[in-house]
Amino acid sequence: MAGAAVAATGAPDVFPWGHVAVGYLCYSLLTHLRGRTPTGAATIALVVGTQFADLVDKPLSWSFDLLPAGVLAHSLFFAVPFSALVLVVARRLSYTQLASAFVVGYLSHLPADVLPSLATGDPSYWPLFWPAMARPGVDVSDPIVGPGAGAGLLENAAYYMSDFLPMLFSPIGVAYVLFMAGVVALWLSDGRPGIGIIGRVLGRVTGRSSHR
């Protein structure tokens, strides 16, 4: 939940592009340690992985009120066995590289949600250990809701975005912008992995449209 904005609780929230940056930094460093550079397909799998926890938890919580405490994919009790299952299945299907990138992206999401709150002195790490650790001060039968239960994706997104721009002018915001710029520079130096695949897909789509 990394751009980081300070939510109503005082703890920073984390936006999709920040999660991409954190995940790409982790994956690129791991790949370079093995003497390689990230491939386009793996980078796209990584990006999907960095968003997976929010793609599961936020619609089920914000739109449908189905998750107790609003948490499932953000919990280590789900993330670890699910990631192991993804790797096992992918190995049998010979998609180990893509699965590894997805898992790095997914698992990087979880600490990225926690670390910004440490900067405010208000650590919020309970989602990592839910349901063993309940959401503080809230009946776990209620969803995590931002501005209100059943408000929906657009309203909840607007709620968090309203804090994002003011945050950019704070010391944390400056550090965040510098971090994002550094990761973009790393991605460029890696040869912009993923852009070629996206270009080919768009080319096929536009090519089909022009022949209709």
Higher-pLDDT residue of 107 and 118 is: 107
Cα separation, 52 vs 112, whole angstroms: 13
Q: pLDDT at position 10, please?
A: 41
Task: Find the distance separating the first CA and the last CA of the chain, reported in whole Å.
Answer: 41
Task: Give pTM, 2 decimals.
Answer: 0.72
Q: pLDDT at position 11, please?
A: 44
Q: pLDDT at position 30, please?
A: 96
Is there a contact between 25 and 111 (Cβ–Cβ < 8 Å)? no
Q: Which of 141, 147, 155, 158 is nearest to 65 (CA)?
A: 141
33-38 average pLDDT score: 94
Q: What is the mean pLDDT of the chain?
A: 82
DSSP reduced 3-state for 14:
strand
Q: Which of 118, 59, 51, 106 is nearest to 78 (CA)?
A: 106
94 backbone φψ class: left, alpha, beta (φ>0; ψ -120 to 50): left
pLDDT of residue 60 exceeding 90: no
Q: How confident is the model at residue 170 (pLDDT cuts 50, 70, 90)?
A: confident
pLDDT of residue 106 exceeding 70: yes
